[in-house]
Amino acid sequence: MPPDTTPEKPVVIVGGGWAGLSAAIHLAHQGRAVTLIEAAGQSGGRARTVMFGELPVDNGQHIALGAYHHLLELLDIIGLHESLVFSRLPLSLNIMGDAGSVTLKASRLPAPFHLLGALLCARGLTATDKGRTLFNWFRLIGADTRHDMTVTELLHGTGQPERVSHFLWIPLCIAALNTHPDTACACLFQRVLKDTFMRQRKSSDLLLPCHDMGKVLPQPALDWLTRHNVKILTRERVIGLQLNQNEITGIITSRQTLPAEQVVLATNAWSAAQLIESIPGLSRLHKNLLQFDYESITTVFLRYAKAVMLDPVMQGYADRFTQWVFDRRITGQPEMIAAVISADSRYSNMDKDELVKTVIDDIKTVSKLPNEPTDSLVVRERRATFSATPKMERLRPTNTTALNGLLLAGDYTQTGYPATLEGAVMSGRQAADEIQKLAVRTD
Ligand SMILES: Cc1cc2nc3c(=O)[nH]c(=O)nc-3n(C[C@H](O)[C@H](O)[C@H](O)COP(=O)(O)OP(=O)(O)OC[C@H]3O[C@@H](n4cnc5c(N)ncnc54)[C@H](O)[C@@H]3O)c2cc1C
Protein backbone atom coordinates (compact mmCIF):
# COMPACT_ATOMS: atom_id res chain seq x y z
CA MET A 1 0.00 0.00 0.00
CA PRO A 2 1.33 3.50 -0.78
CA PRO A 3 2.01 5.62 2.31
CA ASP A 4 -0.86 7.84 3.41
CA THR A 5 -0.14 11.19 1.79
CA THR A 6 -3.31 12.93 2.99
CA PRO A 7 -2.13 16.31 4.31
CA GLU A 8 -2.50 16.73 8.05
CA LYS A 9 -5.71 18.57 8.91
CA PRO A 10 -4.75 21.77 10.71
CA VAL A 11 -5.69 23.04 14.10
CA VAL A 12 -7.80 26.10 13.28
CA ILE A 13 -7.47 29.03 15.64
CA VAL A 14 -10.30 31.53 15.48
CA GLY A 15 -9.13 34.97 16.63
CA GLY A 16 -5.78 36.72 16.39
CA GLY A 17 -5.78 38.44 19.78
CA TRP A 18 -3.00 37.69 22.25
CA ALA A 19 -4.63 34.38 23.29
CA GLY A 20 -4.98 33.19 19.68
CA LEU A 21 -1.42 34.24 18.82
CA SER A 22 -0.15 32.41 21.90
CA ALA A 23 -2.05 29.21 21.01
CA ALA A 24 -0.79 29.41 17.40
CA ILE A 25 2.84 29.94 18.43
CA HIS A 26 2.82 27.10 20.98
CA LEU A 27 1.21 24.67 18.52
CA ALA A 28 3.48 25.63 15.62
CA HIS A 29 6.43 25.35 18.00
CA GLN A 30 5.32 21.77 18.70
CA GLY A 31 5.26 21.10 14.94
CA ARG A 32 1.48 21.15 14.43
CA ALA A 33 -0.15 22.39 11.22
CA VAL A 34 -2.02 25.57 12.16
CA THR A 35 -4.40 28.00 10.46
CA LEU A 36 -5.13 31.30 12.19
CA ILE A 37 -8.25 33.25 11.20
CA GLU A 38 -8.89 36.83 12.27
CA ALA A 39 -12.03 38.78 11.45
CA ALA A 40 -10.38 42.20 11.57
CA GLY A 41 -7.78 43.60 9.20
CA GLN A 42 -5.16 43.51 11.94
CA SER A 43 -4.27 41.18 14.80
CA GLY A 44 -4.01 42.14 18.45
CA GLY A 45 -7.70 42.24 19.42
CA ARG A 46 -8.08 44.34 22.57
CA ALA A 47 -4.34 45.19 22.64
CA ARG A 48 -3.80 46.63 19.19
CA THR A 49 -2.49 49.71 17.44
CA VAL A 50 -4.84 52.51 16.42
CA MET A 51 -3.88 55.71 14.61
CA PHE A 52 -3.95 59.19 16.12
CA GLY A 53 -3.47 61.27 12.97
CA GLU A 54 -0.20 60.00 11.53
CA LEU A 55 0.98 58.59 14.90
CA PRO A 56 0.44 54.97 15.98
CA VAL A 57 -0.98 54.71 19.51
CA ASP A 58 -2.99 51.94 21.19
CA ASN A 59 -6.63 51.18 21.73
CA GLY A 60 -5.69 51.73 25.38
CA GLN A 61 -2.46 52.37 27.27
CA HIS A 62 -1.15 48.95 28.36
CA ILE A 63 1.46 47.96 30.89
CA ALA A 64 2.83 44.55 31.78
CA LEU A 65 4.58 43.27 34.90
CA GLY A 66 7.72 41.28 35.50
CA ALA A 67 5.33 38.61 36.84
CA TYR A 68 3.94 38.02 33.35
CA HIS A 69 5.99 34.84 32.85
CA HIS A 70 3.84 33.36 30.10
CA LEU A 71 4.10 36.53 28.06
CA LEU A 72 7.88 36.69 28.51
CA GLU A 73 8.17 33.00 27.60
CA LEU A 74 6.24 33.68 24.38
CA LEU A 75 8.61 36.50 23.42
CA ASP A 76 11.45 34.09 24.06
CA ILE A 77 10.00 31.43 21.75
CA ILE A 78 9.69 33.90 18.88
CA GLY A 79 13.21 35.15 19.56
CA LEU A 80 12.19 38.67 20.55
CA HIS A 81 14.30 40.04 23.37
CA GLU A 82 12.16 41.68 26.03
CA SER A 83 14.27 44.85 25.92
CA LEU A 84 13.28 45.42 22.27
CA VAL A 85 9.63 45.84 23.17
CA PHE A 86 9.46 46.74 26.87
CA SER A 87 11.29 49.16 29.09
CA ARG A 88 11.72 47.46 32.46
CA LEU A 89 11.51 49.78 35.49
CA PRO A 90 11.79 48.68 39.12
CA LEU A 91 8.48 49.11 40.94
CA SER A 92 7.89 52.76 41.73
CA LEU A 93 4.47 54.13 42.58
CA ASN A 94 3.51 57.74 42.99
CA ILE A 95 -0.15 58.22 43.84
CA MET A 96 -1.49 61.69 44.47
CA GLY A 97 -4.74 62.67 46.13
CA ASP A 98 -6.56 65.48 47.90
CA ALA A 99 -4.87 64.57 51.19
CA GLY A 100 -1.27 64.51 49.97
CA SER A 101 0.50 61.76 48.09
CA VAL A 102 2.12 58.38 48.69
CA THR A 103 5.36 57.41 46.98
CA LEU A 104 7.05 54.07 47.25
CA LYS A 105 9.98 52.47 45.48
CA ALA A 106 11.01 48.81 45.61
CA SER A 107 14.15 48.37 47.71
CA ARG A 108 17.04 46.21 46.51
CA LEU A 109 16.20 43.36 48.90
CA PRO A 110 14.90 39.99 47.65
CA ALA A 111 11.10 39.43 47.51
CA PRO A 112 9.00 40.01 49.53
CA PHE A 113 11.38 42.19 51.55
CA HIS A 114 11.74 44.56 48.58
CA LEU A 115 8.06 45.45 49.06
CA LEU A 116 8.22 45.50 52.84
CA GLY A 117 11.27 47.79 52.57
CA ALA A 118 9.35 49.99 50.12
CA LEU A 119 6.43 50.25 52.56
CA LEU A 120 8.78 51.02 55.44
CA CYS A 121 10.47 53.82 53.49
CA ALA A 122 7.30 55.06 51.74
CA ARG A 123 6.74 58.80 51.74
CA GLY A 124 3.30 60.05 52.74
CA LEU A 125 2.44 57.36 55.31
CA THR A 126 2.63 57.72 59.07
CA ALA A 127 4.74 55.36 61.18
CA THR A 128 1.51 53.82 62.52
CA ASP A 129 0.17 53.20 58.99
CA LYS A 130 3.48 51.61 57.96
CA GLY A 131 3.58 49.42 61.08
CA ARG A 132 0.00 48.21 60.59
CA THR A 133 0.54 47.55 56.86
CA LEU A 134 3.71 45.56 57.46
CA PHE A 135 2.13 43.65 60.33
CA ASN A 136 -0.97 42.84 58.22
CA TRP A 137 0.76 42.12 54.89
CA PHE A 138 0.84 38.35 55.37
CA ARG A 139 -2.78 38.42 56.54
CA LEU A 140 -3.72 40.26 53.34
CA ILE A 141 -2.15 37.74 51.01
CA GLY A 142 -2.72 34.67 53.20
CA ALA A 143 -6.32 35.28 54.34
CA ASP A 144 -8.67 32.44 53.56
CA THR A 145 -10.81 34.19 50.95
CA ARG A 146 -14.24 32.67 50.54
CA HIS A 147 -15.20 32.49 46.88
CA ASP A 148 -17.72 35.30 47.31
CA MET A 149 -15.42 37.65 49.25
CA THR A 150 -14.81 41.08 47.74
CA VAL A 151 -11.60 43.10 47.88
CA THR A 152 -13.24 45.69 50.15
CA GLU A 153 -14.16 42.90 52.60
CA LEU A 154 -10.61 41.53 52.40
CA LEU A 155 -9.09 44.95 53.10
CA HIS A 156 -11.39 45.55 56.09
CA GLY A 157 -11.05 42.00 57.39
CA THR A 158 -7.25 42.14 57.38
CA GLY A 159 -6.96 45.53 59.11
CA GLN A 160 -5.51 47.60 56.27
CA PRO A 161 -5.16 51.25 57.32
CA GLU A 162 -7.64 53.55 55.56
CA ARG A 163 -4.92 55.71 53.98
CA VAL A 164 -2.98 52.70 52.64
CA SER A 165 -6.15 51.26 51.10
CA HIS A 166 -7.04 54.63 49.59
CA PHE A 167 -3.63 55.39 48.10
CA LEU A 168 -2.38 51.90 47.37
CA TRP A 169 -4.65 48.86 47.46
CA ILE A 170 -7.71 50.47 45.84
CA PRO A 171 -5.80 52.03 42.89
CA LEU A 172 -3.90 48.75 42.43
CA CYS A 173 -7.11 46.73 42.51
CA ILE A 174 -8.76 48.94 39.88
CA ALA A 175 -5.61 48.88 37.72
CA ALA A 176 -5.08 45.11 37.91
CA LEU A 177 -8.68 43.86 37.94
CA ASN A 178 -10.45 46.75 36.17
CA THR A 179 -13.17 46.33 38.76
CA HIS A 180 -14.09 48.44 41.79
CA PRO A 181 -12.96 46.82 45.09
CA ASP A 182 -16.59 46.81 46.37
CA THR A 183 -17.39 44.14 43.78
CA ALA A 184 -13.92 42.76 42.85
CA CYS A 185 -13.03 39.18 43.73
CA ALA A 186 -10.65 38.91 46.70
CA CYS A 187 -9.10 35.62 45.46
CA LEU A 188 -8.05 37.19 42.15
CA PHE A 189 -6.58 40.21 43.92
CA GLN A 190 -4.60 37.97 46.24
CA ARG A 191 -3.27 35.99 43.28
CA VAL A 192 -2.02 39.17 41.58
CA LEU A 193 -0.41 40.42 44.82
CA LYS A 194 1.29 37.07 45.45
CA ASP A 195 2.62 36.71 41.90
CA THR A 196 3.79 40.32 41.81
CA PHE A 197 5.30 40.73 45.26
CA MET A 198 6.08 37.31 46.75
CA ARG A 199 7.98 35.42 44.05
CA GLN A 200 11.02 37.38 42.86
CA ARG A 201 12.01 41.02 43.15
CA LYS A 202 11.85 41.41 39.37
CA SER A 203 8.24 40.16 39.30
CA SER A 204 7.07 43.57 40.51
CA ASP A 205 8.99 45.43 37.77
CA LEU A 206 6.83 47.56 35.51
CA LEU A 207 7.20 46.72 31.82
CA LEU A 208 6.26 49.77 29.77
CA PRO A 209 5.86 49.19 26.02
CA CYS A 210 8.55 50.85 23.89
CA HIS A 211 6.26 50.78 20.83
CA ASP A 212 2.59 50.78 19.96
CA MET A 213 1.01 47.45 20.98
CA GLY A 214 0.93 46.05 17.43
CA LYS A 215 4.72 46.06 17.39
CA VAL A 216 5.05 44.58 20.89
CA LEU A 217 3.59 41.18 20.03
CA PRO A 218 1.08 40.92 17.15
CA GLN A 219 3.38 41.90 14.24
CA PRO A 220 6.49 39.98 15.42
CA ALA A 221 4.22 37.00 16.20
CA LEU A 222 2.69 37.04 12.71
CA ASP A 223 6.17 37.25 11.15
CA TRP A 224 7.31 34.24 13.22
CA LEU A 225 4.13 32.28 12.41
CA THR A 226 4.53 32.96 8.68
CA ARG A 227 8.13 31.69 8.85
CA HIS A 228 6.78 28.56 10.57
CA ASN A 229 4.27 27.83 7.80
CA VAL A 230 1.18 28.89 9.70
CA LYS A 231 -1.59 29.91 7.32
CA ILE A 232 -2.90 33.32 8.35
CA LEU A 233 -6.24 34.60 7.09
CA THR A 234 -7.31 38.13 7.98
CA ARG A 235 -10.55 40.00 7.28
CA GLU A 236 -12.26 36.62 7.38
CA ARG A 237 -14.93 36.03 10.01
CA VAL A 238 -15.78 32.56 11.25
CA ILE A 239 -19.56 32.28 11.13
CA GLY A 240 -20.18 28.65 12.00
CA LEU A 241 -18.74 25.34 13.15
CA GLN A 242 -19.05 22.02 11.33
CA LEU A 243 -19.79 18.93 13.37
CA ASN A 244 -20.09 15.23 12.96
CA GLN A 245 -22.10 13.99 15.93
CA ASN A 246 -20.13 15.03 19.03
CA GLU A 247 -16.97 15.96 17.16
CA ILE A 248 -15.81 19.11 15.43
CA THR A 249 -14.75 18.62 11.81
CA GLY A 250 -14.29 22.13 10.46
CA ILE A 251 -15.32 25.75 10.40
CA ILE A 252 -17.33 27.95 8.07
CA THR A 253 -16.03 31.42 7.36
CA SER A 254 -17.48 34.36 5.45
CA ARG A 255 -15.62 33.00 2.40
CA GLN A 256 -15.13 29.24 2.66
CA THR A 257 -15.40 26.00 4.60
CA LEU A 258 -12.20 24.64 6.11
CA PRO A 259 -11.58 21.20 7.59
CA ALA A 260 -10.01 21.13 11.06
CA GLU A 261 -8.52 18.51 13.33
CA GLN A 262 -9.28 20.71 16.33
CA VAL A 263 -10.67 24.24 16.65
CA VAL A 264 -9.58 26.76 19.26
CA LEU A 265 -12.12 29.55 19.68
CA ALA A 266 -9.76 32.33 20.74
CA THR A 267 -12.36 35.03 20.35
CA ASN A 268 -13.81 37.20 23.08
CA ALA A 269 -16.50 35.57 25.22
CA TRP A 270 -19.47 37.14 23.40
CA SER A 271 -18.29 35.97 19.96
CA ALA A 272 -17.64 32.48 21.36
CA ALA A 273 -21.22 32.46 22.72
CA GLN A 274 -22.60 33.29 19.25
CA LEU A 275 -20.57 30.55 17.57
CA ILE A 276 -21.66 27.79 19.95
CA GLU A 277 -25.27 28.92 20.28
CA SER A 278 -26.92 26.10 18.35
CA ILE A 279 -24.60 23.26 19.37
CA PRO A 280 -26.34 20.56 21.35
CA GLY A 281 -24.32 19.70 24.45
CA LEU A 282 -22.91 23.22 24.83
CA SER A 283 -26.08 24.91 26.05
CA ARG A 284 -24.80 25.28 29.61
CA LEU A 285 -21.53 26.86 28.41
CA HIS A 286 -23.55 29.15 26.13
CA LYS A 287 -25.80 30.19 29.03
CA ASN A 288 -22.78 30.92 31.24
CA LEU A 289 -21.07 33.04 28.57
CA LEU A 290 -24.23 35.10 28.14
CA GLN A 291 -24.17 35.92 31.85
CA PHE A 292 -20.77 37.63 31.66
CA ASP A 293 -20.55 41.22 32.90
CA TYR A 294 -18.01 43.63 31.44
CA GLU A 295 -16.11 46.76 32.45
CA SER A 296 -15.01 49.54 30.15
CA ILE A 297 -11.71 51.40 29.94
CA THR A 298 -11.34 54.85 28.43
CA THR A 299 -7.97 56.19 27.32
CA VAL A 300 -7.51 59.84 26.41
CA PHE A 301 -4.38 60.58 24.37
CA LEU A 302 -3.29 64.22 24.53
CA ARG A 303 -0.80 65.64 22.08
CA TYR A 304 1.24 68.72 22.93
CA ALA A 305 3.23 71.13 20.75
CA LYS A 306 6.49 70.04 22.37
CA ALA A 307 7.79 67.36 24.72
CA VAL A 308 6.07 67.15 28.11
CA MET A 309 7.76 65.61 31.12
CA LEU A 310 5.99 63.80 33.92
CA ASP A 311 8.27 62.68 36.71
CA PRO A 312 7.82 59.77 37.30
CA VAL A 313 6.53 58.77 33.86
CA MET A 314 3.54 56.97 35.38
CA GLN A 315 1.43 58.71 38.03
CA GLY A 316 -1.71 57.68 39.88
CA TYR A 317 -4.52 60.07 40.87
CA ALA A 318 -6.46 58.83 43.91
CA ASP A 319 -9.34 61.32 44.04
CA ARG A 320 -9.91 62.27 40.46
CA PHE A 321 -11.89 61.20 37.44
CA THR A 322 -8.55 60.37 35.75
CA GLN A 323 -6.82 57.44 37.48
CA TRP A 324 -3.41 57.03 35.81
CA VAL A 325 -1.40 59.24 33.49
CA PHE A 326 1.58 58.11 31.40
CA ASP A 327 4.14 60.29 29.75
CA ARG A 328 4.67 58.38 26.46
CA ARG A 329 8.34 59.24 26.11
CA ILE A 330 9.19 55.54 26.69
CA THR A 331 6.98 54.71 23.72
CA GLY A 332 8.99 57.21 21.68
CA GLN A 333 6.25 59.87 21.85
CA PRO A 334 7.55 62.51 24.30
CA GLU A 335 4.95 65.03 23.18
CA MET A 336 2.08 62.75 24.23
CA ILE A 337 0.30 61.87 27.47
CA ALA A 338 -2.09 58.95 27.88
CA ALA A 339 -4.71 59.25 30.62
CA VAL A 340 -6.59 56.15 31.73
CA ILE A 341 -10.01 55.81 33.34
CA SER A 342 -10.72 52.18 34.24
CA ALA A 343 -13.97 50.53 35.38
CA ASP A 344 -15.61 53.77 34.26
CA SER A 345 -19.25 52.81 33.69
CA ARG A 346 -20.25 55.75 35.94
CA TYR A 347 -19.06 58.05 33.16
CA SER A 348 -20.35 56.11 30.18
CA ASN A 349 -22.69 58.92 29.11
CA MET A 350 -20.15 61.69 29.46
CA ASP A 351 -19.78 63.70 26.30
CA LYS A 352 -16.35 63.49 24.61
CA ASP A 353 -15.46 67.20 24.93
CA GLU A 354 -16.38 67.23 28.62
CA LEU A 355 -14.31 64.08 29.17
CA VAL A 356 -11.22 65.58 27.51
CA LYS A 357 -11.65 68.84 29.44
CA THR A 358 -11.94 66.96 32.75
CA VAL A 359 -8.77 64.97 32.02
CA ILE A 360 -6.83 68.13 31.06
CA ASP A 361 -8.00 69.86 34.28
CA ASP A 362 -6.94 66.81 36.34
CA ILE A 363 -3.46 66.82 34.78
CA LYS A 364 -3.05 70.56 35.32
CA THR A 365 -4.21 70.36 38.93
CA VAL A 366 -2.48 67.19 40.09
CA SER A 367 0.67 66.94 37.95
CA LYS A 368 0.95 70.75 37.70
CA LEU A 369 1.46 70.59 33.96
CA PRO A 370 0.53 74.04 32.66
CA ASN A 371 0.65 73.23 28.92
CA GLU A 372 -2.48 72.99 26.77
CA PRO A 373 -2.63 70.05 24.37
CA THR A 374 -3.05 70.78 20.69
CA ASP A 375 -5.04 67.63 19.90
CA SER A 376 -6.78 64.72 21.64
CA LEU A 377 -8.02 61.22 20.89
CA VAL A 378 -10.54 59.36 23.03
CA VAL A 379 -10.63 55.55 22.79
CA ARG A 380 -13.43 53.98 24.78
CA GLU A 381 -13.47 50.18 24.97
CA ARG A 382 -16.89 49.36 26.40
CA ARG A 383 -16.18 45.67 26.92
CA ALA A 384 -12.49 46.04 27.78
CA THR A 385 -12.45 43.19 30.30
CA PHE A 386 -14.88 40.95 32.13
CA SER A 387 -15.85 42.23 35.58
CA ALA A 388 -13.49 40.47 37.96
CA THR A 389 -16.24 39.65 40.47
CA PRO A 390 -16.81 36.47 42.52
CA LYS A 391 -19.84 35.70 40.30
CA MET A 392 -17.64 35.81 37.21
CA GLU A 393 -15.04 33.52 38.75
CA ARG A 394 -17.77 30.87 38.97
CA LEU A 395 -18.75 31.35 35.32
CA ARG A 396 -15.31 31.28 33.69
CA PRO A 397 -15.05 28.15 31.51
CA THR A 398 -12.17 25.70 31.20
CA ASN A 399 -10.25 25.47 27.92
CA THR A 400 -11.82 22.14 27.04
CA THR A 401 -15.49 21.84 26.11
CA ALA A 402 -18.01 19.01 25.94
CA LEU A 403 -17.58 18.92 22.14
CA ASN A 404 -14.62 16.76 21.07
CA GLY A 405 -11.95 18.83 19.38
CA LEU A 406 -13.40 22.22 20.36
CA LEU A 407 -11.34 24.32 22.79
CA LEU A 408 -11.61 27.83 24.12
CA ALA A 409 -8.83 30.36 24.67
CA GLY A 410 -9.06 33.92 25.87
CA ASP A 411 -8.51 36.06 28.93
CA TYR A 412 -12.00 35.08 30.18
CA THR A 413 -11.27 31.36 30.55
CA GLN A 414 -10.13 29.82 33.84
CA THR A 415 -6.57 31.00 34.36
CA GLY A 416 -6.68 32.24 37.94
CA TYR A 417 -5.74 35.65 36.54
CA PRO A 418 -7.85 38.73 35.78
CA ALA A 419 -8.36 39.79 32.16
CA THR A 420 -4.83 40.77 31.22
CA LEU A 421 -2.26 40.18 28.52
CA GLU A 422 -0.78 37.51 30.80
CA GLY A 423 -4.16 35.83 31.28
CA ALA A 424 -4.75 35.80 27.50
CA VAL A 425 -1.31 34.38 26.70
CA MET A 426 -1.60 31.83 29.52
CA SER A 427 -4.97 30.69 28.22
CA GLY A 428 -3.59 30.24 24.68
CA ARG A 429 -0.82 28.11 26.09
CA GLN A 430 -3.27 26.04 28.16
CA ALA A 431 -5.39 25.35 25.03
CA ALA A 432 -2.26 24.30 23.09
CA ASP A 433 -1.26 21.99 25.96
CA GLU A 434 -4.70 20.35 25.95
CA ILE A 435 -4.37 19.69 22.20
CA GLN A 436 -0.92 18.25 22.71
CA LYS A 437 -2.29 15.90 25.41
CA LEU A 438 -4.91 14.66 22.92
CA ALA A 439 -2.19 14.02 20.33
CA VAL A 440 -0.16 11.99 22.83
CA ARG A 441 -3.22 9.91 23.78
CA THR A 442 -4.03 9.17 20.08
CA ASP A 443 -0.45 8.08 19.23
C1 LIG B 1 -8.25 49.68 26.91
C2 LIG B 1 -7.64 48.43 27.47
C3 LIG B 1 -6.56 48.53 28.34
C4 LIG B 1 -5.99 47.38 28.88
N5 LIG B 1 -4.89 47.50 29.68
C6 LIG B 1 -4.23 46.38 30.05
C7 LIG B 1 -2.98 46.48 30.71
O8 LIG B 1 -2.47 47.57 30.97
N9 LIG B 1 -2.34 45.32 31.05
C10 LIG B 1 -2.87 44.10 30.76
O11 LIG B 1 -2.22 43.09 31.08
N12 LIG B 1 -4.06 43.97 30.13
C13 LIG B 1 -4.74 45.08 29.76
N14 LIG B 1 -5.93 44.96 29.07
C15 LIG B 1 -6.51 43.62 28.85
C16 LIG B 1 -5.90 42.90 27.62
O17 LIG B 1 -5.78 43.78 26.52
C18 LIG B 1 -6.82 41.74 27.25
O19 LIG B 1 -6.97 40.93 28.38
C20 LIG B 1 -6.27 40.90 26.10
O21 LIG B 1 -5.85 41.69 25.02
C22 LIG B 1 -7.35 39.92 25.66
O23 LIG B 1 -6.85 39.11 24.63
P24 LIG B 1 -7.71 37.90 24.03
O25 LIG B 1 -6.90 37.30 22.96
O26 LIG B 1 -8.18 37.03 25.14
O27 LIG B 1 -9.05 38.54 23.43
P28 LIG B 1 -9.23 39.61 22.24
O29 LIG B 1 -8.15 40.59 22.28
O30 LIG B 1 -10.63 40.12 22.37
O31 LIG B 1 -9.06 38.78 20.90
C32 LIG B 1 -10.12 38.13 20.25
C33 LIG B 1 -9.87 38.21 18.75
O34 LIG B 1 -10.84 37.39 18.10
C35 LIG B 1 -11.29 38.06 16.92
N36 LIG B 1 -12.61 37.50 16.58
C37 LIG B 1 -13.76 37.60 17.30
N38 LIG B 1 -14.74 36.92 16.69
C39 LIG B 1 -14.21 36.37 15.57
C40 LIG B 1 -14.74 35.53 14.53
N41 LIG B 1 -16.02 35.13 14.54
N42 LIG B 1 -13.90 35.12 13.53
C43 LIG B 1 -12.58 35.51 13.54
N44 LIG B 1 -12.04 36.31 14.50
C45 LIG B 1 -12.85 36.72 15.50
C46 LIG B 1 -11.33 39.53 17.34
O47 LIG B 1 -11.32 40.39 16.23
C48 LIG B 1 -10.05 39.62 18.19
O49 LIG B 1 -8.93 39.97 17.41
C50 LIG B 1 -6.54 46.10 28.56
C51 LIG B 1 -7.63 46.00 27.69
C52 LIG B 1 -8.17 47.14 27.14
C53 LIG B 1 -9.33 47.02 26.18
pLDDT at 6: 58
Cβ–Cβ < 8 Å for 143, 194: no
What would the mean pLDDT of 121-146 be, rounded to a whole number? 93
Residue 268 Cβ inside 6 Å of ligand 1? The answer reads yes
Is residue 387 lining ligand 1, measured as CB closer than 6 Å? no
- pLDDT score, position 335: 97
pLDDT at residue 290, as a whole number: 97
Atom of ligand 1 nearest to the CA of 22: 25
Confidence of residue 7 (pLDDT cuts 50, 70, 90): low
* Dihedral sign, Cα of residue 238, residue 215, residue 56, residue 350: positive
Per-residue pLDDT tens digits for 315-328 = 999 999 999 999 99
Establish whether residue 36 lines the binding site of ligand 1, counting it when its CB lies within 6 angstroms of any ligand atom. no
* Nearest atom within ligand 1 for CA of residue 65: 11
Does 4 score more than 60 pLDDT? no
Fold of the CATH domain 294-386: Polyamine Oxidase; Chain A, domain 2 (3.90.660)
Q: Ligand 1 mean position to 7 CA, how many Å?
A: 32
Q: Is the dihedral of CA 301, 374, 333, 107 positive or negative?
A: negative
Q: Are the beta carbons of 154 and 168 closer than 8 angstroms?
A: no
Phi, psi (degrees; rounded to nearest 5) at 378: -110, 125
Write out pLDDT tens, residues 21-74. Answer: 999 999 999 999 999 999 999 999 999 999 999 999 999 999 999 999 999 999
Tell me the DSSP string of 374-412: SEEEEEEEEEEEE---HHHHHHPPPSB-SSBTEEE-STT
Distance 214 CA to ligand 1 centre (A): 12
Q: What distance in Å separates the CA atoms of residue 391 and residue 376, rounded to the nearest whole number?
A: 37
Helix (H) or strand (E) holding 95: strand 92-97
Q: Please check the confidence at residue 11 and state whether its pLDDT lies above 80.
A: yes
| Eight-state DSSP code of residue 7 | P
Residues β-bridged to residue 247: 244, 404
Residue 136 banded pLDDT, cuts 50, 70, 90: very high
Using the mean position of ligand 1's atoms as its centre, give its distance from the Cα of residue 101 in Å.
33
Q: What are phi and psi of 248, to 5 degrees?
A: -85, 140
pLDDT of 173 = 97
CATH of 11-47+68-82+213-292+390-442 given 3.40.190.10, 3.50.50.60, 2.40.50.360, 3.30.2130.10 = 3.50.50.60
Q: How confident is the model at residue 1 (pLDDT cuts 50, 70, 90)?
A: very low
Task: Tell me the mean pLDDT in the region 3-26.
Answer: 88
Ligand 1 mutation target, pool 381, 420, 426, most atoms within 8 A of CB:
420
For 365-375, what is the mean pLDDT?
93
Mean residue pLDDT of the chain comes to 95
Closest ligand 1 atom to the C-alpha of 21?
A: 25
- Of 6-10, 109-113, 405-409, which gets the smallest average pLDDT? 6-10
**Domain positions in the chain:** 11-47+68-82+213-292+390-442, 91-201, 294-386
Query: Tell me, what's the pLDDT at 266?
Result: 98
For ligand 1, whether the C-beta of 209 sits within 6 Å is no
Cα-to-centroid distance, 424 and ligand 1 (Å) = 8
pLDDT in tens, 62-87: 999 999 999 999 999 999 999 999 99
Q: Which amino acid is at 83?
A: S
Residue 178, phi then psi, degrees to nearest 5: 50, 40
CB 135 within 8 A of CB 168: no
Query: pLDDT band at residue 374, thresholds of 50, 70 and 90?
Result: very high
- Residue among 408, 71, 40 nearest 217 (CA): 71
Residue pair 423/20 in contact by the 8 Å Cβ criterion: no
The conformation of residue 137, written as its DSSP 8-state character, comes to H
- C-alpha 284/C-alpha 270 separation (Å) is 14
Report which protein residue has its CA nearest ligand 1's atom 41.
Answer: 238
Average pLDDT over residues 362-387: 95
pLDDT in tens, 259-312: 999 999 999 999 999 999 999 899 999 999 999 999 999 999 999 999 999 989
Asked if residue 156 lies in contact with residue 132, where contact means CB atoms within 8 angstroms, the answer is no
Residue whose C-alpha is closest to residue 128's, from 155, 161, 158, 103: 161
Sheet arrangement for strand 375-386 = 100-105, 92-97, 314-317, 324-327, 336-342, 294-303, 375-386
| Contact assessment for residue 89 and residue 308, using Cβ atoms and an 8 Å cutoff | no
What is the residue-wise DSSP string for 90-159? Answer: --EEEEEETTEEEEEE--SSPTTHHHHHHHHH-BT--HHHHHHHHHHHHHHHHS---TT-BHHHHHHHTT
Q: Which of 104-108, 201-205, 273-277, 433-437 has the least mean pLDDT?
A: 104-108
Determine which residue's CA is closest to atom 10 belonging to ligand 1: 420
Question: Going by CA atoms, what residue is nearest to atom 32 of ligand 1?
Answer: 267
Residues in the chain: 443
| Å from CA of 18 to ligand 1 middle | 7
pLDDT at 323: 96
Mutate which of 35, 37, 43, 62 to test ligand 1's pocket (most atoms within 8 Å of Cβ)? Answer: 62
In this prediction, residue 346 carries a pLDDT of 73
How far apart CA 166 and CA 186 sit, in angstroms, is 16
How many Å apart are CA 142 and CA 157, to the nearest integer? 12
